[in-house]
Amino acid sequence: MSTQYTDSVKLYAARRHEALFSGNIPASDRPVVHLESQIGWMNDPNGFSLYKGRYHLFYQYHPFSSVWGPMHWGHAVSDDLVHWEHLPAALAPDERYDSSGCFSGSALELADGRHLLMYTGLSQTGRNPDGTPANRQIQCIAYGDGVDYEKYEGNPVIDSSQLPEGSSPQDFRDPKIWACEDGGFRCVLGSLDAERSGQILQYRSADGISWEFECVLASNHGRYGVMWECPDTFVLDGKQVLLVSPQDMLPEGNEFMSGNGTLALIGHLDDQTGALVEEATQSIDYGIDFYATQTLETADGRRVMVAWMQNWDTTSVGSVQPWFGQMTLPRELHVRDGRLYQWPVREIEEARRNRVAYEDVLVEGLCVLDGVRGRCVDLTLTVRSADEDDPYSEFFVRFAQRGRFRSSLCFRTRDRSLMINRKHSGLRRAVVKDRKCKLLSYDGTLRLRMILDRFSVEVFVGEGEQTMTMTIPTDPSFDEITFFAEGKAVMDVEKYDLV
Ligand code: FRU
Protein backbone atom coordinates (compact mmCIF):
# COMPACT_ATOMS: atom_id res chain seq x y z
CA MET A 1 0.00 0.00 0.00
CA SER A 2 1.12 3.53 -0.66
CA THR A 3 1.20 6.07 2.11
CA GLN A 4 -1.64 8.56 2.23
CA TYR A 5 -0.45 11.79 3.81
CA THR A 6 -3.08 11.37 6.49
CA ASP A 7 -1.70 7.92 7.36
CA SER A 8 1.88 9.00 7.64
CA VAL A 9 2.98 9.47 11.23
CA LYS A 10 6.19 11.13 10.07
CA LEU A 11 4.48 13.61 7.78
CA TYR A 12 1.92 14.34 10.46
CA ALA A 13 4.72 15.00 12.96
CA ALA A 14 6.45 17.39 10.54
CA ARG A 15 3.26 19.28 9.80
CA ARG A 16 2.37 19.46 13.47
CA HIS A 17 5.83 20.81 14.30
CA GLU A 18 5.42 23.48 11.60
CA ALA A 19 1.96 24.42 12.82
CA LEU A 20 3.07 24.65 16.45
CA PHE A 21 6.36 26.49 16.07
CA SER A 22 6.93 28.23 12.73
CA GLY A 23 4.48 31.02 13.59
CA ASN A 24 6.72 31.97 16.50
CA ILE A 25 9.42 33.21 14.12
CA PRO A 26 8.67 36.90 13.51
CA ALA A 27 8.66 38.09 9.89
CA SER A 28 11.43 40.53 10.84
CA ASP A 29 13.74 37.54 11.49
CA ARG A 30 13.16 36.17 7.99
CA PRO A 31 14.41 37.37 4.58
CA VAL A 32 12.13 39.74 2.64
CA VAL A 33 12.47 38.56 -0.97
CA HIS A 34 14.15 35.17 -0.56
CA LEU A 35 12.57 31.87 0.35
CA GLU A 36 13.90 30.47 3.61
CA SER A 37 12.98 27.30 5.44
CA GLN A 38 9.61 27.43 7.15
CA ILE A 39 11.35 26.12 10.28
CA GLY A 40 14.49 24.04 10.76
CA TRP A 41 16.94 23.09 8.05
CA MET A 42 16.72 23.67 4.27
CA ASN A 43 19.03 22.57 1.47
CA ASP A 44 18.53 22.01 -2.28
CA PRO A 45 15.59 23.44 -4.20
CA ASN A 46 13.33 20.60 -5.35
CA GLY A 47 10.27 20.36 -7.56
CA PHE A 48 10.55 23.92 -8.89
CA SER A 49 7.52 23.95 -11.17
CA LEU A 50 4.49 25.78 -12.43
CA TYR A 51 1.35 24.00 -11.25
CA LYS A 52 -2.16 25.28 -11.89
CA GLY A 53 -0.76 28.72 -12.63
CA ARG A 54 1.29 29.10 -9.42
CA TYR A 55 4.99 28.57 -8.80
CA HIS A 56 5.80 25.72 -6.46
CA LEU A 57 9.17 25.38 -4.82
CA PHE A 58 9.94 22.43 -2.60
CA TYR A 59 13.17 21.94 -0.71
CA GLN A 60 15.30 19.46 1.16
CA TYR A 61 14.05 19.88 4.68
CA HIS A 62 14.58 18.80 8.25
CA PRO A 63 11.93 20.71 10.17
CA PHE A 64 12.90 19.53 13.64
CA SER A 65 16.31 21.20 13.91
CA SER A 66 18.48 23.69 12.06
CA VAL A 67 20.97 20.97 11.07
CA TRP A 68 20.68 18.34 8.32
CA GLY A 69 18.68 15.23 9.27
CA PRO A 70 16.42 12.65 7.58
CA MET A 71 15.20 14.57 4.57
CA HIS A 72 11.60 15.66 4.12
CA TRP A 73 10.35 17.92 1.36
CA GLY A 74 9.37 21.41 2.53
CA HIS A 75 6.97 23.30 0.30
CA ALA A 76 6.18 26.89 -0.68
CA VAL A 77 4.10 28.58 -3.32
CA SER A 78 4.29 31.96 -5.04
CA ASP A 79 2.52 34.02 -7.68
CA ASP A 80 5.49 36.24 -8.50
CA LEU A 81 8.63 34.16 -7.76
CA VAL A 82 9.62 36.77 -5.17
CA HIS A 83 7.15 36.50 -2.30
CA TRP A 84 6.54 32.97 -1.01
CA GLU A 85 3.88 31.42 1.15
CA HIS A 86 4.86 28.36 3.16
CA LEU A 87 2.69 25.28 2.72
CA PRO A 88 2.70 22.14 4.87
CA ALA A 89 5.59 19.70 4.34
CA ALA A 90 4.93 17.57 1.26
CA LEU A 91 6.97 14.39 1.78
CA ALA A 92 8.39 12.58 4.79
CA PRO A 93 10.77 9.60 4.86
CA ASP A 94 8.00 7.18 5.78
CA GLU A 95 8.49 4.18 3.47
CA ARG A 96 11.05 1.41 3.70
CA TYR A 97 12.65 2.49 0.43
CA ASP A 98 13.07 6.13 1.55
CA SER A 99 13.37 5.63 5.30
CA SER A 100 16.73 7.46 5.45
CA GLY A 101 15.47 10.40 3.41
CA CYS A 102 13.46 11.76 0.50
CA PHE A 103 16.38 13.25 -1.40
CA SER A 104 16.33 15.84 -4.16
CA GLY A 105 14.12 15.73 -7.21
CA SER A 106 11.80 17.66 -9.43
CA ALA A 107 8.15 18.10 -10.41
CA LEU A 108 5.80 18.83 -13.27
CA GLU A 109 2.10 19.22 -13.99
CA LEU A 110 0.57 16.19 -15.71
CA ALA A 111 -1.99 16.50 -18.49
CA ASP A 112 -4.63 15.03 -16.16
CA GLY A 113 -4.13 17.87 -13.66
CA ARG A 114 -2.06 16.00 -11.07
CA HIS A 115 1.25 17.33 -9.77
CA LEU A 116 3.97 14.72 -10.22
CA LEU A 117 6.98 14.67 -7.90
CA MET A 118 10.04 12.59 -8.73
CA TYR A 119 12.66 12.15 -6.02
CA THR A 120 15.43 9.91 -4.75
CA GLY A 121 14.60 7.50 -1.96
CA LEU A 122 17.48 6.73 0.38
CA SER A 123 17.58 3.68 2.62
CA GLN A 124 20.22 1.84 4.56
CA THR A 125 20.83 -1.69 3.39
CA GLY A 126 23.38 -3.04 5.85
CA ARG A 127 27.12 -2.53 5.89
CA ASN A 128 29.87 -2.14 3.30
CA PRO A 129 32.87 -4.52 3.61
CA ASP A 130 34.72 -1.76 5.51
CA GLY A 131 31.94 -1.49 8.08
CA THR A 132 30.49 1.81 6.89
CA PRO A 133 26.71 1.95 6.36
CA ALA A 134 25.64 0.84 2.88
CA ASN A 135 23.00 3.04 1.34
CA ARG A 136 20.76 2.46 -1.60
CA GLN A 137 19.48 5.27 -3.81
CA ILE A 138 16.45 4.68 -6.01
CA GLN A 139 14.05 6.92 -7.91
CA CYS A 140 10.46 7.32 -6.76
CA ILE A 141 7.36 9.28 -7.66
CA ALA A 142 4.42 10.81 -5.82
CA TYR A 143 1.21 12.39 -7.10
CA GLY A 144 -0.59 15.33 -5.55
CA ASP A 145 -2.92 18.27 -5.80
CA GLY A 146 -0.51 21.07 -4.88
CA VAL A 147 -0.79 20.47 -1.11
CA ASP A 148 -1.07 16.73 -0.39
CA TYR A 149 0.99 14.07 -2.12
CA GLU A 150 0.66 10.30 -2.24
CA LYS A 151 3.64 8.11 -2.98
CA TYR A 152 3.15 5.73 -5.89
CA GLU A 153 2.46 2.19 -4.70
CA GLY A 154 4.82 0.70 -7.28
CA ASN A 155 7.89 2.68 -6.14
CA PRO A 156 10.71 2.64 -7.03
CA VAL A 157 10.31 3.55 -10.69
CA ILE A 158 14.05 3.41 -11.40
CA ASP A 159 16.43 1.24 -9.40
CA SER A 160 20.01 0.13 -9.64
CA SER A 161 19.18 -2.61 -12.16
CA GLN A 162 18.74 0.23 -14.67
CA LEU A 163 22.23 1.62 -14.12
CA PRO A 164 24.90 1.26 -16.79
CA GLU A 165 27.53 -1.30 -15.86
CA GLY A 166 29.99 -0.26 -13.17
CA SER A 167 27.90 2.67 -11.91
CA SER A 168 27.51 3.09 -8.17
CA PRO A 169 24.06 2.21 -6.73
CA GLN A 170 24.99 4.33 -3.71
CA ASP A 171 25.45 7.48 -5.76
CA PHE A 172 22.47 7.67 -8.04
CA ARG A 173 20.27 10.62 -7.32
CA ASP A 174 18.46 13.91 -7.96
CA PRO A 175 16.15 13.18 -10.92
CA LYS A 176 15.19 16.20 -13.01
CA ILE A 177 12.14 15.32 -15.09
CA TRP A 178 10.69 17.14 -18.08
CA ALA A 179 7.83 16.54 -20.49
CA CYS A 180 8.58 15.89 -24.16
CA GLU A 181 6.59 16.98 -27.18
CA ASP A 182 5.53 13.37 -27.90
CA GLY A 183 3.65 13.27 -24.58
CA GLY A 184 6.37 11.22 -22.89
CA PHE A 185 9.02 12.17 -20.35
CA ARG A 186 12.76 12.29 -19.90
CA CYS A 187 14.82 12.63 -16.75
CA VAL A 188 18.48 13.11 -15.94
CA LEU A 189 20.23 11.79 -12.83
CA GLY A 190 23.62 12.27 -11.22
CA SER A 191 25.75 9.18 -10.69
CA LEU A 192 29.28 7.84 -10.32
CA ASP A 193 30.75 5.71 -13.11
CA ALA A 194 33.10 2.73 -12.82
CA GLU A 195 36.06 5.12 -12.40
CA ARG A 196 34.15 6.82 -9.56
CA SER A 197 33.81 9.99 -11.55
CA GLY A 198 30.56 11.90 -12.10
CA GLN A 199 28.26 11.08 -14.99
CA ILE A 200 24.81 12.30 -15.95
CA LEU A 201 22.41 9.54 -16.98
CA GLN A 202 19.34 10.11 -19.10
CA TYR A 203 16.20 7.95 -18.94
CA ARG A 204 12.98 7.98 -20.96
CA SER A 205 9.42 7.02 -20.19
CA ALA A 206 6.03 7.09 -21.89
CA ASP A 207 4.03 7.43 -18.66
CA GLY A 208 6.41 8.63 -15.92
CA ILE A 209 6.23 5.22 -14.29
CA SER A 210 8.05 2.80 -16.52
CA TRP A 211 11.53 4.09 -17.38
CA GLU A 212 14.38 2.89 -19.54
CA PHE A 213 17.99 4.01 -19.71
CA GLU A 214 18.63 6.14 -22.77
CA CYS A 215 22.21 7.48 -22.72
CA VAL A 216 25.06 8.96 -20.73
CA LEU A 217 24.38 12.64 -21.32
CA ALA A 218 27.76 13.81 -19.96
CA SER A 219 30.82 12.47 -18.17
CA ASN A 220 33.12 14.25 -15.81
CA HIS A 221 36.24 12.16 -16.56
CA GLY A 222 37.74 13.46 -13.33
CA ARG A 223 37.87 17.06 -14.50
CA TYR A 224 35.49 18.94 -12.19
CA GLY A 225 35.28 17.45 -8.73
CA VAL A 226 34.07 13.88 -8.19
CA MET A 227 30.31 13.20 -8.02
CA TRP A 228 28.00 15.49 -10.01
CA GLU A 229 24.79 16.25 -8.12
CA CYS A 230 21.52 17.95 -9.08
CA PRO A 231 21.67 17.92 -12.90
CA ASP A 232 19.31 19.98 -15.01
CA THR A 233 19.31 20.25 -18.79
CA PHE A 234 17.38 22.34 -21.32
CA VAL A 235 17.66 24.10 -24.63
CA LEU A 236 18.21 27.84 -24.34
CA ASP A 237 18.93 30.35 -27.09
CA GLY A 238 19.76 27.53 -29.48
CA LYS A 239 22.20 25.75 -27.18
CA GLN A 240 21.91 22.65 -25.01
CA VAL A 241 22.73 23.63 -21.44
CA LEU A 242 23.57 21.22 -18.63
CA LEU A 243 23.84 22.52 -15.07
CA VAL A 244 25.45 20.31 -12.45
CA SER A 245 26.78 20.69 -8.91
CA PRO A 246 30.11 18.89 -8.52
CA GLN A 247 31.31 17.74 -5.11
CA ASP A 248 34.93 17.81 -3.96
CA MET A 249 36.25 20.37 -6.41
CA LEU A 250 39.87 21.41 -6.66
CA PRO A 251 40.46 25.13 -7.19
CA GLU A 252 41.25 26.36 -10.70
CA GLY A 253 42.44 29.96 -10.99
CA ASN A 254 39.51 32.22 -10.19
CA GLU A 255 37.07 29.98 -12.04
CA PHE A 256 36.46 27.28 -9.45
CA MET A 257 37.03 27.13 -5.72
CA SER A 258 37.52 24.00 -3.67
CA GLY A 259 34.58 22.18 -2.11
CA ASN A 260 31.13 22.00 -3.66
CA GLY A 261 30.82 24.04 -6.83
CA THR A 262 28.47 24.63 -9.71
CA LEU A 263 29.19 24.08 -13.36
CA ALA A 264 27.39 25.02 -16.57
CA LEU A 265 28.23 22.95 -19.66
CA ILE A 266 27.05 24.55 -22.90
CA GLY A 267 27.02 22.79 -26.26
CA HIS A 268 24.84 20.63 -28.49
CA LEU A 269 23.63 17.05 -28.56
CA ASP A 270 25.34 14.42 -30.68
CA ASP A 271 22.77 13.15 -33.23
CA GLN A 272 23.96 9.56 -32.90
CA THR A 273 24.57 9.09 -29.18
CA GLY A 274 22.39 11.80 -27.63
CA ALA A 275 25.38 12.86 -25.52
CA LEU A 276 26.26 16.50 -24.90
CA VAL A 277 29.09 17.78 -27.06
CA GLU A 278 30.66 20.44 -24.86
CA GLU A 279 31.54 23.77 -26.41
CA ALA A 280 32.10 25.77 -23.22
CA THR A 281 32.18 25.25 -19.46
CA GLN A 282 32.06 27.78 -16.64
CA SER A 283 31.33 28.30 -12.99
CA ILE A 284 27.71 29.36 -12.59
CA ASP A 285 28.46 31.71 -9.68
CA TYR A 286 31.67 33.27 -8.32
CA GLY A 287 30.50 33.92 -4.78
CA ILE A 288 30.63 31.71 -1.72
CA ASP A 289 27.11 30.40 -1.11
CA PHE A 290 25.58 28.89 -4.20
CA TYR A 291 24.78 25.24 -4.91
CA ALA A 292 22.28 22.74 -6.33
CA THR A 293 20.64 24.78 -9.10
CA GLN A 294 17.23 23.92 -10.54
CA THR A 295 15.23 25.59 -13.31
CA LEU A 296 11.72 25.86 -14.68
CA GLU A 297 10.17 27.42 -17.74
CA THR A 298 7.61 30.16 -17.04
CA ALA A 299 4.32 30.38 -18.95
CA ASP A 300 5.84 33.14 -21.09
CA GLY A 301 8.83 30.98 -21.99
CA ARG A 302 11.55 32.29 -19.68
CA ARG A 303 14.09 29.82 -18.28
CA VAL A 304 14.37 30.66 -14.57
CA MET A 305 16.90 29.20 -12.14
CA VAL A 306 17.09 29.03 -8.35
CA ALA A 307 19.86 27.63 -6.19
CA TRP A 308 20.43 26.89 -2.56
CA MET A 309 22.09 30.06 -1.25
CA GLN A 310 24.51 28.13 0.86
CA ASN A 311 27.64 26.04 0.60
CA TRP A 312 28.01 22.69 2.34
CA ASP A 313 31.36 23.67 3.85
CA THR A 314 29.95 26.83 5.40
CA THR A 315 26.93 25.21 7.00
CA SER A 316 28.99 24.97 10.20
CA VAL A 317 28.27 28.68 10.61
CA GLY A 318 24.90 27.49 11.85
CA SER A 319 21.98 29.70 12.59
CA VAL A 320 20.91 31.98 15.37
CA GLN A 321 17.38 31.65 14.01
CA PRO A 322 15.23 28.50 14.28
CA TRP A 323 15.49 28.31 10.48
CA PHE A 324 18.57 27.63 8.36
CA GLY A 325 18.97 27.86 4.59
CA GLN A 326 17.67 30.16 1.86
CA MET A 327 17.18 30.05 -1.88
CA THR A 328 18.67 32.59 -4.27
CA LEU A 329 16.36 34.96 -6.00
CA PRO A 330 15.01 33.26 -9.14
CA ARG A 331 17.18 34.35 -12.07
CA GLU A 332 16.28 34.54 -15.74
CA LEU A 333 18.88 32.74 -17.85
CA HIS A 334 20.21 33.34 -21.33
CA VAL A 335 23.09 32.04 -23.41
CA ARG A 336 25.06 34.65 -25.31
CA ASP A 337 28.36 33.97 -27.07
CA GLY A 338 28.67 30.61 -25.37
CA ARG A 339 28.17 32.04 -21.90
CA LEU A 340 25.38 31.75 -19.33
CA TYR A 341 23.88 35.12 -18.39
CA GLN A 342 21.75 35.56 -15.25
CA TRP A 343 19.48 38.40 -14.21
CA PRO A 344 16.99 38.75 -11.34
CA VAL A 345 13.49 37.88 -12.56
CA ARG A 346 11.68 41.01 -13.70
CA GLU A 347 8.96 40.40 -11.07
CA ILE A 348 11.35 41.83 -8.47
CA GLU A 349 10.78 45.25 -10.03
CA GLU A 350 7.26 45.21 -8.60
CA ALA A 351 8.76 44.97 -5.12
CA ARG A 352 10.78 48.18 -5.54
CA ARG A 353 9.89 51.32 -3.60
CA ASN A 354 11.45 54.71 -2.77
CA ARG A 355 13.74 55.33 -5.73
CA VAL A 356 16.88 57.33 -4.91
CA ALA A 357 19.21 58.23 -7.78
CA TYR A 358 22.44 60.14 -8.24
CA GLU A 359 24.40 60.87 -11.38
CA ASP A 360 28.06 61.73 -11.91
CA VAL A 361 29.02 61.60 -8.24
CA LEU A 362 32.75 62.15 -7.80
CA VAL A 363 34.16 59.51 -5.46
CA GLU A 364 37.60 60.33 -4.11
CA GLY A 365 38.22 58.63 -0.78
CA LEU A 366 35.07 57.98 1.26
CA CYS A 367 31.66 58.85 -0.13
CA VAL A 368 28.35 58.69 1.73
CA LEU A 369 25.11 59.55 -0.05
CA ASP A 370 21.90 60.75 1.52
CA GLY A 371 19.14 58.16 1.22
CA VAL A 372 21.49 55.36 0.14
CA ARG A 373 21.26 52.85 2.94
CA GLY A 374 19.24 49.76 3.79
CA ARG A 375 19.37 46.01 4.10
CA CYS A 376 16.61 45.08 1.64
CA VAL A 377 17.77 46.97 -1.36
CA ASP A 378 18.08 46.78 -5.14
CA LEU A 379 21.17 48.86 -5.91
CA THR A 380 22.65 49.60 -9.34
CA LEU A 381 26.08 51.21 -9.66
CA THR A 382 27.89 52.43 -12.75
CA VAL A 383 31.47 53.45 -12.08
CA ARG A 384 34.14 54.94 -14.37
CA SER A 385 37.37 56.85 -13.94
CA ALA A 386 37.08 60.63 -13.61
CA ASP A 387 40.09 60.91 -15.91
CA GLU A 388 40.63 58.08 -18.40
CA ASP A 389 44.35 58.82 -18.48
CA ASP A 390 44.61 58.55 -14.72
CA PRO A 391 42.26 55.68 -13.74
CA TYR A 392 41.33 55.07 -10.12
CA SER A 393 43.03 51.97 -8.75
CA GLU A 394 40.38 50.55 -6.41
CA PHE A 395 36.68 51.08 -5.86
CA PHE A 396 34.82 49.72 -2.84
CA VAL A 397 31.17 49.46 -1.98
CA ARG A 398 30.64 48.55 1.66
CA PHE A 399 27.27 47.42 2.92
CA ALA A 400 25.57 45.86 5.97
CA GLN A 401 27.81 48.25 7.80
CA ARG A 402 27.92 49.73 11.28
CA GLY A 403 30.90 50.25 13.57
CA ARG A 404 33.33 47.37 13.09
CA PHE A 405 30.91 45.38 10.92
CA ARG A 406 30.73 45.47 7.14
CA SER A 407 30.84 43.41 3.96
CA SER A 408 32.25 44.67 0.71
CA LEU A 409 32.86 44.42 -2.97
CA CYS A 410 36.21 45.70 -4.20
CA PHE A 411 37.04 46.28 -7.86
CA ARG A 412 40.69 46.71 -8.86
CA THR A 413 41.25 48.24 -12.28
CA ARG A 414 44.83 46.90 -12.62
CA ASP A 415 43.79 43.25 -12.99
CA ARG A 416 40.02 43.78 -13.43
CA SER A 417 39.36 41.69 -10.34
CA LEU A 418 36.20 41.91 -8.29
CA MET A 419 36.41 40.61 -4.74
CA ILE A 420 33.47 39.86 -2.49
CA ASN A 421 34.36 39.91 1.19
CA ARG A 422 32.56 39.13 4.46
CA LYS A 423 35.54 39.00 6.80
CA HIS A 424 34.03 41.69 9.03
CA SER A 425 30.41 40.66 8.66
CA GLY A 426 30.22 39.26 12.18
CA LEU A 427 31.16 35.67 11.18
CA ARG A 428 32.66 33.81 14.10
CA ARG A 429 33.69 30.64 12.25
CA ALA A 430 36.80 29.82 10.21
CA VAL A 431 35.00 29.47 6.89
CA VAL A 432 35.59 30.95 3.43
CA LYS A 433 35.30 34.71 3.72
CA ASP A 434 36.15 36.05 0.29
CA ARG A 435 36.27 35.14 -3.36
CA LYS A 436 37.48 36.89 -6.46
CA CYS A 437 36.63 36.82 -10.13
CA LYS A 438 38.13 38.55 -13.13
CA LEU A 439 35.66 40.64 -15.03
CA LEU A 440 35.10 39.23 -18.50
CA SER A 441 33.73 42.27 -20.21
CA TYR A 442 35.29 45.33 -18.61
CA ASP A 443 35.33 48.24 -21.04
CA GLY A 444 36.33 50.97 -18.59
CA THR A 445 32.89 51.07 -16.94
CA LEU A 446 32.05 48.86 -13.98
CA ARG A 447 28.37 47.91 -13.85
CA LEU A 448 27.02 46.20 -10.75
CA ARG A 449 23.55 45.34 -9.59
CA MET A 450 23.28 44.20 -6.00
CA ILE A 451 20.26 42.64 -4.34
CA LEU A 452 20.65 42.92 -0.60
CA ASP A 453 18.32 41.08 1.72
CA ARG A 454 18.51 40.69 5.49
CA PHE A 455 20.92 37.76 5.37
CA SER A 456 22.46 37.81 1.89
CA VAL A 457 23.78 39.67 -1.10
CA GLU A 458 23.55 38.70 -4.76
CA VAL A 459 25.73 40.58 -7.22
CA PHE A 460 25.12 40.70 -10.97
CA VAL A 461 28.05 41.98 -12.99
CA GLY A 462 27.59 43.80 -16.31
CA GLU A 463 24.62 42.28 -18.06
CA GLY A 464 24.72 39.23 -15.82
CA GLU A 465 27.69 37.44 -17.41
CA GLN A 466 29.06 36.88 -13.90
CA THR A 467 27.37 36.68 -10.51
CA MET A 468 28.58 36.51 -6.91
CA THR A 469 26.34 35.27 -4.11
CA MET A 470 27.00 35.19 -0.39
CA THR A 471 25.16 34.98 2.90
CA ILE A 472 25.96 37.30 5.79
CA PRO A 473 25.10 36.92 9.48
CA THR A 474 25.24 40.66 10.21
CA ASP A 475 22.56 42.21 12.44
CA PRO A 476 19.85 43.30 9.96
CA SER A 477 19.70 46.77 11.52
CA PHE A 478 23.29 47.48 10.37
CA ASP A 479 22.30 49.18 7.16
CA GLU A 480 24.94 51.70 6.10
CA ILE A 481 26.15 51.65 2.50
CA THR A 482 29.29 53.61 1.65
CA PHE A 483 31.63 54.01 -1.31
CA PHE A 484 35.36 54.51 -1.46
CA ALA A 485 37.79 55.12 -4.31
CA GLU A 486 41.56 55.10 -4.33
CA GLY A 487 42.00 57.76 -7.00
CA LYS A 488 39.09 59.54 -8.65
CA ALA A 489 36.01 57.66 -9.80
CA VAL A 490 32.70 58.93 -11.08
CA MET A 491 29.58 56.99 -10.19
CA ASP A 492 25.88 56.77 -11.02
CA VAL A 493 23.68 55.20 -8.34
CA GLU A 494 20.12 53.96 -8.43
CA LYS A 495 18.66 52.50 -5.28
CA TYR A 496 15.28 51.06 -4.33
CA ASP A 497 14.03 49.52 -1.12
CA LEU A 498 12.59 46.03 -1.59
CA VAL A 499 9.36 45.17 0.15
C1 FRU B 1 22.99 18.11 -2.81
C2 FRU B 1 22.53 16.83 -2.15
C3 FRU B 1 21.79 15.97 -3.15
C4 FRU B 1 20.92 15.12 -2.28
C5 FRU B 1 20.56 16.08 -1.17
C6 FRU B 1 20.42 15.46 0.18
O7 FRU B 1 23.17 19.17 -1.93
O8 FRU B 1 23.64 16.15 -1.61
O9 FRU B 1 22.62 15.23 -4.03
O10 FRU B 1 19.81 14.66 -2.97
O11 FRU B 1 21.61 17.05 -1.12
O12 FRU B 1 19.90 16.36 1.11
- CB atoms under 10 Å from CB of 298, counted, come to 15
CA distance 409 to 404: 16
* pLDDT at position 319: 83
- In terms of domains, do 203 and 318 share one? yes
Pairing of strands 394-402, 377-385: unpaired
For residues 215-224, average pLDDT: 98
Which among 37, 46, 60, 248 is the best mutation to test ligand 1's pocket, defined by most ligand atoms within 8 Å of the CB? 60
User: Omega before 45 cis (within 30°)?
Assistant: no
Query: Which residue in 180, 80, 92, 83 sits closest to 140, CA to CA?
Result: 92
CA distance 85 to 473: 23
CA distance 47 to 39: 19
Instruction: Please name every residue paired with 234 in a beta bridge, in sequence order, or none if there are none.
Output: 241
188 in Cβ contact with 118 (< 8 Å): no
- In terms of domains, do 364 and 333 share one? no
User: Omega before 156 cis (within 30°)?
Assistant: yes
Ligand 1: which atom is nearest the Cα of residue 104?
Answer: 10
Query: Which residue in 320, 270, 315 sits closest to 288, CA to CA?
Result: 315
CATH number of the domain residue 73 falls in: 2.115.10.20
- In terms of domains, do 88 and 120 share one? yes
Q: How far apart are the first and last CA of the chain?
A: 46
Query: Which residue in 108, 48, 43, 50 sits closest to 70, CA to CA?
Result: 43
For residues 153-182, average pLDDT: 97
- Residue 21 has φ and ψ, to the nearest 5°, of -115, -25
* pLDDT, tens only, 64-113: 999 999 999 999 999 999 999 999 999 999 999 999 999 999 999 999 99
Residue 104 alpha carbon to ligand 1 centre in Å: 6
One-letter amino acid at 85 equals E
Q: What is the pTM of this model?
A: 0.97
One-letter amino acid at 183 equals G
CATH number of the domain residue 382 falls in: 2.60.120.560
Domain boundary among 307, 328, 343: 343
**In terms of residue numbers, what domain contains 113?**
4-343
* pLDDT, tens only, 228-276: 999 999 999 999 999 999 999 999 999 999 999 999 999 999 999 999 9
Supply angle C-alpha 58, 62, 64, rounded to 5.
135
- In terms of domains, do 326 and 423 share one? no
Instruction: Please name every residue paired with 471 in a beta bridge, in sequence order, or none if there are none.
Output: 456
- In terms of domains, do 48 and 74 share one? yes
Residue 489 alpha carbon to ligand 1 centre in Å: 44
* pLDDT at position 299: 95
Active site residues: 44
Domain boundary among 311, 343, 375: 343
Give the residue, by CA position, lying nearest to ligand 1 atom 6.
103
* pLDDT at position 487: 98
Ligand 1: which atom is nearest the Cα of residue 44?
Answer: 7
Residues with CB under 6 A from ligand 1: 43-44, 60, 71, 103-104, 120, 173-174, 229-230, 291-292
- In terms of domains, do 452 and 367 share one? yes
Residue 44 alpha carbon to ligand 1 centre in Å: 6
Domain boundary among 343, 361, 383: 343
* pLDDT, tens only, 153-166: 999 999 999 999 99
Which among 104, 119, 311, 314 is the best mutation to test ligand 1's pocket, defined by most ligand atoms within 8 Å of the CB? 104
Handedness of CA 338, 332, 483, 407 (dihedral sign): negative
CA distance 8 to 65: 20
Ligand 1: which atom is nearest the Cα of residue 60?
Answer: 12
- In terms of domains, do 355 and 332 share one? no
Burial class (CB in 10 A: 0-12, 13-18, 19+), 407: buried
* pLDDT, tens only, 29-78: 999 999 999 999 999 999 999 999 999 999 999 999 999 999 999 999 99
- Domain count for the chain, please give it: 2
- In terms of domains, do 225 and 157 share one? yes
Supply angle C-alpha 432, 433, 436, rounded to 5.
95
Percent of the chain at pLDDT exceeding 70: 99
Which among 37, 98, 174, 263 is the best mutation to test ligand 1's pocket, defined by most ligand atoms within 8 Å of the CB? 174
CA distance 305 to 77: 16
Residue 299 alpha carbon to ligand 1 centre in Å: 28
- In terms of domains, do 419 and 435 share one? yes
- In terms of domains, do 294 and 404 share one? no
* pLDDT at position 6: 57
Ligand 1: which atom is nearest the Cα of residue 291?
Answer: 7
- In terms of domains, do 252 and 170 share one? yes
- In terms of domains, do 323 and 436 share one? no
* pLDDT, tens only, 483-492: 999 999 999 9
186 in Cβ contact with 274 (< 8 Å): no
CA distance 258 to 309: 17
